[in-house]
Chains A and B, each alone.
Chain A
Amino acid sequence: MYRNLTIRQKQIVWAWAFLAIPILFYSVIRFYPTGNAILISFQDWNLLGDRTWTGLDNYQKLFADPVFWKVFKNTFVYLLIGTPVSLLISFVIAYHLDQVRFMHGFLRTLYFLPFMTSAVAMAWVWRWFYQPVPVGLFNNALASIGIPQFPFLQSTTWALPSVLAPAGWAGLGFQVIIFMAGLRAIPRSYYEAARIDGVSWWTVLWEITLPLLKPTIVFIVVFSSIGFLRIFDHVFNMTTNNPGGPLNSTKPLVLMIYETAFSAFDMGYAAAQTVVLFLVLLVVSLIQLRILRDS
């Protein structure tokens, strides 16, 4: 039968044969669990017993839960502070590093090192930095010059920024490398033309560098947004005794999902939270892709 096909048809058969592998892979590894999670979100299940249908109960409970709204807000605070701040810092570093010749490779390595370090190890070291007197590095330094202790992780106001700082720092190396690649890709001739015209440094940055970096910026924004929306390991490891504390002030959505599923064993409720996270990620990514298409 295969022999009777035209060349064009044979090509199609082969294309589908190759496509079938990723499709099968995605069906089993991605789509089936996703569908199952959506199904469980309408059910009551404690992991051990039978699943029972509860309709929209889990979603009603979710929207009436003040902890959920608190956590929802936290998740966006991580995103809205984390992404722009890390973007700005990494651009400034990349911009200047790009012009440095002295020990360029070594400096670049230093910036990239945190990205290769395990988040768990890093979170625990920072957790130690933040401790109150007599163990914490920062507070011991403050105390030794007579300044009162600062409640890094013990304050509902400062705990989130304190957790965010090492998380942002950890991702910095990656963003710096991407930015530098983007900067290198801008043709030199534009800069040379600008210099001949005697344009100011600011105009060069604003009219040449930034517009031509747009694809790079969009990529980093999408990438780091998804990262901050899914933040978990830094928060969990820096607050293990009181996960997401104090008073849920550092708790992101993923940590709430984890606790609902694996401490409370309320899988239906956890699945409902997962569906909400999925929708949030979807919407944020679609908006960002829309911006990308404009360019």
Chain B
Amino acid sequence: MAFFNVKALAVATATSAAALFSTAAQAVEIEYWQYFFDARVKAMETLIENFQEANPDITVKMTHFPYADYRTKVAAAIPAGEGPDVVQLFYGWLNDYVAAELIQPLPADVFPTSQIDAEFFPMVQAMKDGDAYWALPTAVRSLALFYNERLLEEAGVEPPTTLDEMIAAAKAMTKRDGAGNLTQVGMTAGMTAQDHHWWREGLVRQFGGEPYVDDYQTVNYNSDAGLEALNFYASLFSGDDAVSAIGFMDEPQAAFKAGRAGLHIDGSFRIGSLNDTRGLKWGVTELPATADGTRSNYSSYWVNAITTKAEGEKYDAAVKFMQYITSDEAMQIWLDVVGELPAKPSVGLTDANANDPVFGPFIKGLAYAHTTKFANESGQRQLMVEMVERMTLQGMSAEESLAIAAEAEQKILDDYYKSASN
């Protein structure tokens, strides 16, 4: 590093931040924050490298934290003028971040609303407020049905395409020991994993219902369709001919990885870890349809946004960086490294991607996917877990348990929207 002259050094130490910018006008450094997930960090490192090559005057410094600390750190850093210029957040947190003035809208001249509306998958429009977008995703995720090829073959069944076929296939793959204990499940089950999404946005809709109304502020699954969906779901693990058990091998994905489960519903983010599992031959297909061909899926996504901390040339650099990480090229890299799906149909729905045996089913699922607007995702998931537990552990009827869950979830939503409007 070159020597400053004495005067500049004195100024620099006195008012360090301001002075540093003026002496280092050529190189802008912006900071990017995300939570730690190995593949995401690797993908972002590649993106940053490419971006810096194209923009030699900008350097991007990435910082990542364990998921559990993420929100606390962001909340503490930005108001203090520290922390990221570009930040990653879960789509469900947007309202909180906007209300707390942690992020600023994307400039409409660089990110025109009409163009984004047209180019991105429609669910991204939840990030729009009036004529500006607050945040944009690089990738989106959806659900699909994983299957264990060896077990299917052994049972002599094909990958299922409808719910009936799914039950039949699961029955064929279920194994019990002499005492009647399950030693291999036809299908995994557990609301603690992805099943609560499958139930809400998949099954309830497939049985003709609508889980929520009023822009996800009113619970609406306490209906005939909801009851039918719950009974169907409970049939997987109740009765003597159950094809599954809650808590089998501790958690669903562990049972599937261990080759002790025939079918398993999970998100595209599971692909990487399944690929790393030795000896497991697996395939994936779209979530099963009803007999009349109705399909429904759940999608979710993480977005990137520019924080209120970014000003002046850092802001300009942040805008450029946002442009790059929401570009077609970035989306393809993200797909290849993380396994999360491109947020634009133009990238996701290329023939190569849509017909890909692994990514294809997820990408097709996006076309009929819904995105739940959660007030408190883990709290709302917990209610689904308890809805099932009241039936399995306390013998409550599906009807009654469903009503309790709906009422409790409505309370969470009411509390959230009440305090948000304050």
Contacts and interface: CB of A to CB of B under 8 A. Distances in A.
B183 A154 contact: no
A245 B102 CA distance: 35
B102 A127 contact: no
Contacts of B178: 146
Contacts of B394: 156, 247
B2 interface: no
Given A52-B422, A146-B179, A262-B68, A247 B249 contact: no
Contacts of A46: 96, 100, 419
B389 A127 contact: no
B181 interface: yes
Contacts, number: 89
Contacts of B260: 134
A247 B182 contact: no
B393 A247 contact: yes
Interface stretch (B21-29, B213-221, B378-386): B378-386
Contacts of A128: 250
A174 to B, nearest CB: 29
B182 to A, nearest CB: 7
Contact of A265 (B71, B247, B393): B71
Nearest to B254: A135
Contacts of B248: 132
A109 interface: no
Contacts of B389: 245-247
A60 interface: no
A133 interface: yes
A280 interface: no
B249 A155 contact: no
Contact of B249 (A44, A135, A154): A135
A48 B100 contact: yes
Given A44-B422, A48-B97, A132 B245 contact: yes
Interface string B180-204: 0111000000101100000000000
B250 A127 contact: yes
A294 to B, nearest CB: 45
B251 interface: yes
A153 B250 CA distance: 10
B276 interface: no
A234 to B, nearest CB: 16
A149 B247 CA distance: 13
A157 B389 CA distance: 13
B181 A149 contact: yes
B99 A49 contact: yes
Interface in A144-164: 146, 148-149, 153-156
Contacts of B68: 262
B96 A48 contact: yes
Nearest to A50: B100
A146 B181 CA distance: 11
Interface residues of B, number: 38
A233 B249 CA distance: 21
B10 interface: no
Given A155-B393, A241-B190, A49 B247 contact: no
B109 interface: no
A241 B192 contact: yes
B390 interface: yes
Nearest to B182: A133
A242 B182 contact: no
A206 B300 CA distance: 66
Contacts of B390: 247
B131 interface: no
Interface in B74-114: 75, 96-97, 99-100, 102
Nearest to B190: A241
Given A52-B422, A259-B378, A264-B379, A135 B96 contact: no
A246 B393 CA distance: 9
Nearest to A135: B249
Given A44-B419, A148-B179, A265-B71, A49 B96 contact: yes
Nearest to A244: B382
B253 to A, nearest CB: 11
B246 interface: yes
B250 A241 contact: yes
Given A46-B419, A48-B97, A156-B394, A131 B250 contact: yes
A121 B277 CA distance: 23
Contacts of B393: 154-156, 246-247
A267 to B, nearest CB: 10
A52 B248 CA distance: 45
Contact of A133 (B96, B181, B250, B386): B181
A281 interface: no
Contacts of A259: 378-379
Contacts of A265: 71, 96, 376
A52 B99 CA distance: 13
Interface string B284-311: 0000000000000000000000000000
15 contacts: A46-B100, A47-B72, A48-B75, A127-B250, A132-B181, A133-B183, A134-B260, A135-B250, A139-B181, A241-B193, A242-B192, A246-B393, A259-B379, A263-B376, A264-B378
Interface of B: 68, 71-72, 75, 96-97, 99-100, 102, 177-179, 181-183, 190, 192-193, 245-251, 260, 376, 378-379, 382, 385-386, 389-390, 393-394, 419, 422
- The 8 A-B pairs at the shortest CB distance, nearest first, are namely A48-B100, A133-B181, A241-B192, A263-B378, A49-B100, A134-B183, A264-B376, A48-B75
Given A52-B422, A134-B249, A241-B193, 9 more contacts: A49-B96, A49-B100, A143-B177, A242-B385, A245-B386, A245-B389, A262-B71, A263-B379, A265-B376
